[in-house]
């Protein structure tokens, strides 16, 4: 029953996505009135699904040239994946350190003015960072990092990763802080303390192992937040990635339904891929830690 529900849920999601991607073609204003063509949407979806069988949907046009979609998609995908994974690994490691072991310090920081940074929207943070670096450059002539990529051979790396790290980090540290506080009020901590266990031991074994499940449960949300930041990051820093296919290509080469749909689908792959990479990392870290600490 529940697997049937799962399948229906996913199929409905796919249909909704197919309709959504067709809307810019069949729901528009033509200068004097708003046009909505529901049959056009059905036709579009039909053509796309048929095209999948014949392989036609896997080709798109760059101007007059027809190109194989999956070739180009892979490189864009890998670029997005690298940015996302590297920054998320940094987020998880830093959140463990700041959110659990230094929860008191980080709570103070979050309650001070620094906490406001965590509430800034991604695009504001990026604009402010670019403005700041521009200001420093104009005053001192020091280039700290690239404010945007100007070519594919010379991409901006530091600022995109920094932005992708900062925002989920604030969210996660805040969440872990609360959980750590809650765990520390539990009776088993009092018991451990009264047994004379050292503070370090209690933190490493009792607190961490009780907070970690929340971190794992929160990963679904964290990766979601990160991807939504990735959209803005790639767009504003002009780095290579999946969003380029979504926003830049339609303006240069016209809106191509199959290109947009397949790109949207690959965001799911990006989500799942990143999620499992992080889960694998946590799993391995836990195993290694256990091995060293208890043997």
Query: Coil, strand or helix: which one is 143?
Result: coil
Strands annotated E in the chain? 27-29, 34-36, 59-62, 65-68
CA distance 122 to 165: 11
- 144 binds other proteins, rule: CB under 8 A: no
* Distance in Å, CB of 295 to other proteins, minimum: 26
Burial class of 141 by CB neighbour count within 10 A (0 to 12, 13 to 18, 19+): exposed
97 DSSP 8-state letter: I
- Asked if 280 touches other proteins (CB under 8 A), the answer is no
293 is an interface residue for other proteins by CB under 8 A: no
- Residue placing its CB nearer to other proteins in the complex, 3 or 54: 3
> Contacting other proteins (CB under 8 A), which of 73, 173, 215, 227?
227
| Per CB under 8 A, 42 contacts other proteins | no
Number of residues located near other proteins, criterion CB under 8 A: 64
- Alpha-carbon distance of 24 to 36, in angstroms, equals 10
Could you tell me if 71 and 173 are in contact, meaning their C-beta atoms sit under 8 angstroms apart? no
Report which of 243, 211, 238, 212 is spatially closest to residue 227, judged by C-alpha positions: 243
Return d(Cα 245, Cα 260) in angstroms, integer.
Answer: 7
Is residue 216 a contact residue for other proteins (CB under 8 A)? Answer: no
Q: Does 49 interact with other proteins (rule: CB under 8 A)?
A: no
Shortest CB 189 distance to other proteins, Å: 5
**Candidates 9-17, 54-62, 67-75, 154-162 — which segment interacts with other proteins by CB under 8 A?**
9-17
Closest CA to 164 of 70, 260, 228: 228
The answer to the question of residue 10 lying near other proteins (CB under 8 A) is yes
Binding site for other proteins (CB under 8 A): 2, 5-6, 9-10, 13-14, 16-17, 20-21, 23-24, 27-29, 31-34, 104, 111, 115-116, 119-124, 127, 130-131, 134, 181, 184-186, 189-190, 193, 199, 202-203, 207, 220, 223-224, 227-228, 231-232, 235-236, 247, 264-265, 267-272, 275
């Amino acid at each position: 029953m529940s697997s049937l529900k799962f399948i229906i849920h996913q199929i409905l999601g796919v249909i909704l996505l197919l309709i959504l991607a067709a809307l810019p073609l069949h729901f528009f204003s033509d200068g004097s009135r708003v046009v909505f063509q529901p049959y056009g949407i059905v036709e579009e979806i039909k053509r796309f699904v048929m095209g999948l069988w014949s392989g036609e949907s896997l080709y798109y046009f760059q101007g007059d040239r027809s190109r194989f979609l999956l070739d180009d998609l892979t490189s864009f995908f890998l670029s997005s994946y690298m940015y996302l994974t590297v920054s998320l690994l940094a987020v998880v490691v830093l959140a463990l350190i700041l959110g659990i072991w230094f929860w008191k310090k980080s709570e103070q920081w979050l309650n001070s003015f620094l906490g406001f940074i965590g509430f800034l929207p991604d695009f504001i943070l990026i604009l402010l960072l670019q403005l700041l670096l521009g200001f420093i450059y104009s005053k001192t002539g020091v280039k700290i990092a690239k404010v945007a990529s100007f070519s594919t051979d010379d991409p901006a790396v530091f600022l995109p990763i920094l932005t992708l790290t900062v925002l989920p980090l604030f969210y996660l540290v805040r969440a872990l802080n609360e959980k750590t506080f809650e765990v520390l009020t539990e009776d088993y901590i009092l018991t451990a303390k009264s047994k004379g266990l050292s503070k370090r031991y209690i933190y490493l074994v009792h607190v961490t192992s009780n907070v970690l499940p929340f971190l794992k449960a929160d990963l679904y949300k964290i990766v979601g937040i990160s991807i939504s930041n990735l959209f803005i990051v790639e767009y504003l820093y002009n780095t290579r990635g999946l969003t380029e296919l979504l926003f830049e290509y339609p303006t240069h080469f016209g809106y191509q339904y199959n290109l947009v749909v397949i790109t949207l689908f690959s965001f799911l792959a990006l989500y799942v891929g990143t999620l499992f990479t992080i889960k694998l990392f946590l799993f391995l870290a836990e195993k290694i830690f256990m091995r060293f600490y208890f043997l």
